[in-house]
Structure 1
Amino acid sequence: MKIGALFPQFEIGTNPKDIRDFAVIADELGYTHLTAFDQIIGLNQHSRPGWTYVHDAEDMFHELFVLYGYLAAVTRQIELVTGVLVLPMRGTALVAKQAAEVDLLSGGRLRLGVGVGVKPEEFEACEREFRGRGKRMDEQIDVLRKLWCADLITYEGKYHRIEDGGINPLPVQRPIPIWIGGVSDAAIKRVATIGDGWLPNFQADDTGKRGIAQMKEIAKAAGRDPEAIGIEATLTIIDRSYAELREEIEEWRAIGATHITVNTMPERWVEEEKRWNKAEMDGLAHPEEHIDAIRRFHAAMKDYF
């Protein structure tokens, strides 16, 4: 099982040194991957009664391709993961170009996690259609892989038309691995049929077991090897004992997770109210504390590295 770190973007701040230090130390400690979230434009929850989204304009999201272009130059081995990039909100050729460049500059260390998104207002702000985004993303994935693997392509689809064109330079990985985010039936089917891996947001409980079993059954029916499809879980480590964390890691291992991502930010989702309760979030006060947290976790769990 591979152990990675979640980029603490909501609390890391804007100092380039803090951003660099977290990634460099995670790399030096032997964390196998660094995963960061995506949001292009934040929405103001205070002007939207009945807000139910997890993130809003107050949450900081560093732009993923720029962030990873920067971190590619200062890290050596750690894999750079988008978890997840809202693909239908972006032009496919531009994503192909940006991803290829990060992969090239990092020496083949990009893993592209993608999802369909959940906020119609964000799509509107980015001048993209919210409706039909799932089918559009399926075609986008096909186009991305073709653009990454050939100098020139001709493509005629429902949403894309490319006549004898391509990107230059091509990435190191041909194609770059594409992992799918989400836990809906459509997302599970997408993982099973066209994904290289899965970035689900459930726990290692009965729901998680059922989801993984469902994905593997669909993959097998589609003629794919279910065991070749990666599964990345998230492990929140603050305010928890190492005994608890070991138990959860083993639960994830038992249901088939291939990757664990260590999260040093708090989780305060209030299920009854369907909202993110920021008033109750007791996060780490300084970027250095996030570095200390991944250091301590590594020291206590060395047998997993």
Structure 2
Amino acid sequence: MRRAYRKEPTLPDYRLGITSPIVTRLPGVAGEWEATAGIAELADIAAAADELGFEYLTCSEHVAVPTAIAAQRGGTYWDPLSFFGFLAGRTRTIRFLTQVLVLGYHHPLEIAKRYGTLDTISGGRVTLGVGVGSLREEFDLLGVEFGGRGDRADDAMRALRASLSASEPEYQGTHYEFGGSIVEPCAVQQRVPIWVGGRTSRSLRRAVELGDGWVPFGLGRSRLREMLDAVEVPHGFEVVLGAGPLDPEDAEGTAAELEKTRSAGATIVGVTIRASSADHYIGQLRRLAELGLKG
């Protein structure tokens, strides 16, 4: 009698980005190993992800999380510019996604200069994930006005579009106005992708009207599908939805989770990966890639 072997499922050419471990440690999500891991482990992980063809690595931004809130949101948030600047020289193709920069914490020209420099260093691999911010206590700590932040964010996005790839940017808006100055280096990409984070219908409208993609969080798949069906998404617009934590050793469960995420409207899936060490994490990346990354 011939023995029947169970065939592992193959993913249908997914585009997968990585929610970076170590640099952001969320309670209940981060593994214990991440508390003692550092830049050496991150460099190895980034090199493996780059080699395997993953779309991007992420890094979030919080400047100062109040102690009372850290138990819920976490207190470890590496600075994205420092993190990505280090990895730019150790990778070749993987992109660097800020997920997300809080627009109200920065002048648009500050972002244009800093991330234009990173785009130059990395050979055009920056994607700006931006958001309006939701942590009032952090706004207060930084002396930034919390009220009206949505309108300021809209104007900041328009200002960024006018300045990211321009050596002599000019802009006149409702909150920002500049011209007659040189900002060099600027981004080498003719159009730096700007993806908008958030979980509201307004964030999706902001993304469609002013950005190139949407990176929502904290929403169920059915709600995401409803929100996307309610708008006309432009051609080439990216919908970046999260999945995980995934255990690629469970190939069947991983394939099902990713397919559900794509069915909700994802053009790219941002994965969180379950692992017990940096070496195990790299092994999990390889298993995930073997299931079928889009080449």
Asked if 1:262 corresponds to 2:271, the answer is yes
Contact 2:164-2:187 within 8 A present in 1 as well: yes
Contact 1:116-1:133 within 8 A present in 2 as well: yes
State TM-score, norm by structure 2.
Answer: 0.84
Aligned match of 1:3: 16
Tell me: CA distance 1:293–1:101, structure 2 relative to 1, closer, same or farther (3 Å): same
Percent identical pairs in the alignment equals 28
- The CA deviation at 1:183 is 1.7
Alpha-carbon distance between aligned partners in 2 of 1:26 and 1:19, rounded to the nearest angstrom: 10
Aligned match of 1:294: 285
- The CA deviation at 1:285 is 4.3
Contact 2:162-2:170 within 8 A present in 1 as well: no
Where in structure 1 are there 5+ consecutive unaligned residues? Answer: 46-50, 220-224, 266-283
Contact 1:81-1:113 within 8 A present in 2 as well: yes
- The CA deviation at 1:168 is 0.5
Alpha-carbon distance between aligned partners in 2 of 1:21 and 1:177, rounded to the nearest angstrom: 26
Aligned match of 2:175: 159
Secondary structure of the residue aligned to 1:215 is coil
Decide which of 81, 85, 90 is 1:69's aligned counterpart: 85
Where in structure 2 are there 5+ consecutive unaligned residues? Answer: 1-13, 26-33
RMSD: 2.2
- The CA deviation at 1:149 is 3.3
- The CA deviation at 1:13 is 4.6
- The CA deviation at 1:14 is 5.6
**Cα deviations by residue, 1:77-132 (Å, 9 ceiling, x for unpaired):** 00111111111122221111111011111100010000111111111122211111
Aligned match of 1:274: none
Which letter does structure 2 place at the counterpart of 1:228?
G
Which letter does structure 2 place at the counterpart of 1:23?
A
Secondary structure of the residue aligned to 1:210 is helix
Alpha-carbon distance between aligned partners in 1 of 2:219 and 2:142, rounded to the nearest angstrom: 32
Decide which of 94, 98, 101 is 2:110's aligned counterpart: 94
- The CA deviation at 1:43 is 1.5
Contact 1:4-1:261 within 8 A present in 2 as well: yes
Asked if 1:199 corresponds to 2:224, the answer is no
Q: Which moved more, 1:76-85 or 1:284-293?
A: 284-293
Aligned match of 1:272: none
Tell me: CA distance 1:7–1:191, structure 2 relative to 1, closer, same or farther (3 Å): same
Aligned match of 2:42: 19
Aligned match of 1:273: none
Secondary structure of the residue aligned to 2:174 is coil
Aligned match of 2:74: 56
Q: Which moved more, 1:162-171 or 1:132-141?
A: 162-171
Alpha-carbon distance between aligned partners in 2 of 1:303 and 1:100, rounded to the nearest angstrom: 29
Tell me: CA distance 1:136–1:25, structure 2 relative to 1, closer, same or farther (3 Å): same
Tell me: CA distance 1:52–1:17, structure 2 relative to 1, closer, same or farther (3 Å): closer
Aligned match of 2:238: 230
Aligned match of 1:43: 66
Decide which of 197, 209, 227 is 1:211's aligned counterpart: 227
Which letter does structure 2 place at the counterpart of 1:261?
G
Alpha-carbon distance between aligned partners in 1 of 2:125 and 2:35, rounded to the nearest angstrom: 22
Q: Which moved more, 1:159-168 or 1:95-104?
A: 159-168
Tell me: CA distance 1:174–1:166, structure 2 relative to 1, closer, same or farther (3 Å): farther
- The CA deviation at 1:239 is 5.0
- The CA deviation at 1:27 is 0.5
Alpha-carbon distance between aligned partners in 1 of 2:231 and 2:196, rounded to the nearest angstrom: 12
Contact 1:99-1:110 within 8 A present in 2 as well: yes
How many aligned positions are there?
271
Tell me: CA distance 1:66–1:303, structure 2 relative to 1, closer, same or farther (3 Å): closer
- The CA deviation at 1:23 is 0.7
Contact 1:237-1:245 within 8 A present in 2 as well: no
Contact 1:188-1:214 within 8 A present in 2 as well: no
Alpha-carbon distance between aligned partners in 2 of 1:182 and 1:12, rounded to the nearest angstrom: 27
Which letter does structure 2 place at the counterpart of 1:302?
G
Tell me: CA distance 1:259–1:19, structure 2 relative to 1, closer, same or farther (3 Å): same
Decide which of 245, 250, 256 is 1:247's aligned counterpart: 256
Contact 1:152-1:166 within 8 A present in 2 as well: yes
